[in-house]
Chain A
Amino acid sequence: MQLRISHRTTYRYQEPVKYSAQMLRLTPRRDGEQHTLAWSIQAPGRRAEQVDAHGNITHLLTLEEPHREISIVVTGVVEITRTREVLREQGMLSPLAYLAPTALTAASEGILALAREHLEGAGPLRQRLYDLARGVCASVRYRPGTTAVDDPAAAAFERGEGVCQDQAHVLIACCRAKGIPARYVSGYLCSGSGHQGDAASHAWVEAWLSEAQGWHGIDVTHMEPAGACHCRLAVGRDYLDAAPVRGVRRGGGPEVMDVSVTATTIDAQ
C-alpha cells in the first residue's frame, strides 16, 4: 500500500527566540517492508542528519538567528508491504536494551496487577499480548486531549484515560515487568481505514516474541497488529526516544503549537 503523508508543525512565540534546537524524527525508518518513495523536510536553520542507536533517522535542527516562528513541513510517499506478523529488522541494540524500565514506563502496583492478570496465563505469547492490549484499553480509555507529553504510564493508569501514547506506555510497562522486551513506536496511521479519531499521528508498541520470531507490532489503541497502514517513523524505549519533534529554546515566552497531519492511501489499482 502507498501512503501519501503531509505533516506540518508550527510553533509561534510571543517574543523572539534567540536560539533553538529541535531533534526531529520525521523520516520513515528504512526496514525491509517500508520503502520511502519520496520524502522532503522543509524547515528553517541548519540540519544535521544521523541514524541513532535505535536505527531512527534523526535531524538536529539548530537556529541561531532570532525568530518568532518555526514551521516544519514534511511531505512524501511511503510504500508499505508489511504482510508478515513480525519485523525483518536487524537492529544495533539487543532486545534486552528494551527491558529496563524508564521514568515514563515505570510500573506501579496497578500496572503490575494488570500485567499479572494478562501475561501470566497459559497460551501463546502473541495471544496473551492481545489480551493485555484489551486490558490496557479498558483500564486507560482513549480520550484525546487528556495528556501531557511527559506523563508517565502510572499517571495515565491512575487517571483511567489517555491517548495512544499513554496506552502504549502502559503496555510497555506491563511487558517489561514480566521480562518481555517492548518498545515504543511513533508513526503515521493512514486515515479512512475505519480507525478511530483523526489520529494520523499515532503511537504503538513492538514486543519481542522470541529469538526465532523477533519484534511484533501491536497497535494497542485498536487492539490489532500494526500492518500495512502503519508507517514507522521511530522506535525507542519510550516516547522521549521516539518523539517526532523534541525541542529546546532560549527566550520566546509562551508558545502556541499548531499541528496538522494527513496520511492517505494512494490507490495502486
Chain B
Amino acid sequence: MRVSPYDEMLQSGGTPRPHCRDYWGWLEEQSQECLARKRSEADALFHRVGITFAVYGENSGTERLIPFDIIPRVIPAEEWSRLEAGLVQRVRALNAFIGDIYHGQEILRAGVIPAERVLCNAQYRPEMQGVEVPGGIYAHIAGIDVVRDASGSFCVLEDNLRVPSGVSYMLENRKMMMRLFPELFARHPIAPVEQYPDLLLENLKSVAPQGVSDPTVVLLTPGMYNSAYFEHAFLAQQMGIELVEGQDLYVLDDVLYMRTTRGPRRVDVVYRRLDDDFLDPLSFRPDSTLGVPGLLTVYRAGHVTIANAIGTGVADDKSIYPYVPQMIRFYLGQAPLLENVRTWILSDPQDKAYVLAHLPELVVKEVHGAGGYGMLIGPAATATQLDDFRARIRAHPERYIAQPTLALSTSPTFSAAGVAPRHIDLRPFVLSGREVAIVPGGLTRVALREGSLIVNSSQGGGTKDTWVLGC
C-alpha cells in the first residue's frame, strides 16, 4: 500500500492551501512560455556568475549548474515557528552531547547510549578529549535535514554537524527569485534571509579565544577544485574575511599565522570547510596537503577556535542519530519537539532480523555514506539489488541502518510537462554562538525526476527558493 504524500501547496482536490492561495492564483495566470523563459533566464544568469559545483568522479574542473526551480516552496509562519523551536532544541542538545562526550561522558555512564557505540565510532576523536572550546560550542553551523511525512508533520532525517553546505544556494536562489519575480515580493510578506552572512560572522567572532577583542576570522577551503568551492568563496566575500587554503597558514610556537604580502598575520578563528581527517598532517592523515601542520596543537592550547570543532561527527553519525531524542530528554529535560524517523540499527540482531524480513519496504543507508550514494530504496529496487543488499547486510550489519520509505512531501515544480508535483526536503541552517539563531527558511532540495525520492544534487536533484510567509 502506498500512502499519498503531503503536498506543500495543494490540498486534496487540487485547491490551494490557505497560505498559498495568492501565489497559486498568480501562478495559474502565467503562461507556459513565460515560465520557460524565466527558467532559461535563471540558467543563463547562474552560468555567467559561475554558481556551479563539481561532481565527484568526473574530470577535475568539470562544472555543472544545480538545476533551479522557479516555483518556491512556501511555509506559513506558524508552522515555521514550531519547526524553529524544534531545531533550536535539537541543536542545543547535540552541542551538549558533544561537550559531554569529550569531557565527563555522563550520558554513557547513565547507560542512555551504549559506550562502545560512541567511543569505538570512527568519528570519535580521542584528540578532543578534555579540550575546552569557547562557549562550549562544537557545532557552530548545523544543517538539519527535515522532511514531512504523509500526515504533514516535520521530522528530522539527518543532522549535518561537520561541514554542512548549501547555504549559498539558499542566498543565491532568493536573489534570483527577487530578480525574476519582483512583483511577487511586493505582494507577499516573505521573511528575508540575506542577513545570514552577518549573523554567521557575528557568531564566529563571538566564539573567538578568550582575550581576543578584535578577532581575525578566516575561511579555510580545500581549494578551487572542491565541489563546494563556489560557496566557500561566496561566504568569505559576503563576510569580508580571507578565503585561505592550508598553504596560506602556518604555525609558529603554538600560534597560527597567515602569510600576507605584509608579513605574518595572526589568525584567531578558522571557519573550516575541510574534514577533520585533513586538518593537520601531524595529527591526522599524514598525507594531507590541504591542512596546517600543528593546527591541533594551537587548538588544544586554546589559541584558535575551529568552527565547527574537531570531532563533531560523533554526533551526526547515522548510528548515533537514533539517540538524539534521548539526548534532548537527558540534557534538556524536555520532550523532543521534532521527531526522528524510525530507524533500525542493523548491528542489533533483532533489528537486523526485522529488516531482512521487510527489505522491500525499507530504505537502507550506509552508516558512513553521504550524498545519496550506497543507498537501497526497497520499493524501487530489483530482486537482484535486494539480494545484493541482503548479502551485504549479513556480512557487515554494523555498516548499515534502515528506515521506512517515507512519502516525502511534494511541491509543485516546473517540469518539461508543465507544473507537476515533485518530492522535496528542507535543510535549515542553525547557527550557535552566544545564542542559537536560524534565518527563516533554508535550502529546499527537490528530486526533479518524477517519483524520485533522491534530492541530492549529485543524483538529479535541484533546489528551490524557500519562503517563510508573514514573519
Q: Which residues of A contact B (CB under 8 A)?
A: 19, 21-23, 46-48, 50, 52-54, 58, 60, 62, 64, 92-94, 96-97, 99-100, 150, 237, 240, 246-248
Contact = CB atoms under 8 A, between A and B. Distances in A.
Interface residues of B, number: 28
A134 B120 CA distance: 27
Interface in B227-271: 250-254
A67 B384 CA distance: 61
25 contacts: A19-B250, A21-B250, A21-B293, A23-B297, A46-B253, A48-B301, A53-B127, A53-B128, A53-B131, A54-B126, A58-B297, A60-B253, A60-B294, A60-B297, A62-B252, A94-B105, A94-B119, A96-B119, A96-B120, A97-B124, A97-B126, A99-B119, A100-B124, A237-B126, A247-B282
B375 interface: no
Contact of A96 (B116, B251, B283, B301): B116
Contacts of B253: 46-48, 60, 62
Given A21-B282, A96-B119, 8 more contacts: A21-B250, A53-B131, A58-B297, A62-B252, A92-B130, A94-B105, A96-B116, A246-B282
Contacts of A22: 282
A256 to B, nearest CB: 20
Contacts, number: 78
Given A19-B250, A94-B105, A100-B120, A50 B301 contact: yes
Q: Which of A52, A64, A246, A247 counts the most B-chain CB atoms under 10 A from its CB?
A: A52
B281 A248 contact: yes
B115 to A, nearest CB: 6
A108 to B, nearest CB: 15
Contacts of B254: 48, 50, 60
Contacts of A94: 105, 115, 119
Contacts of A47: 253
A251 to B, nearest CB: 12
Contacts of A237: 126
B129 interface: yes
Contacts of B130: 53, 92
8 nearest A-B pairs in the assembled complex, by CB-CB distance: A96-B119, A48-B254, A21-B293, A248-B293, A23-B282, A60-B297, A53-B129, A100-B120
A23 B294 contact: yes
A48 B294 CA distance: 10
Contacts of B115: 94, 96
Contacts of B297: 23, 48, 50, 58, 60
B40 interface: no
A258 to B, nearest CB: 21
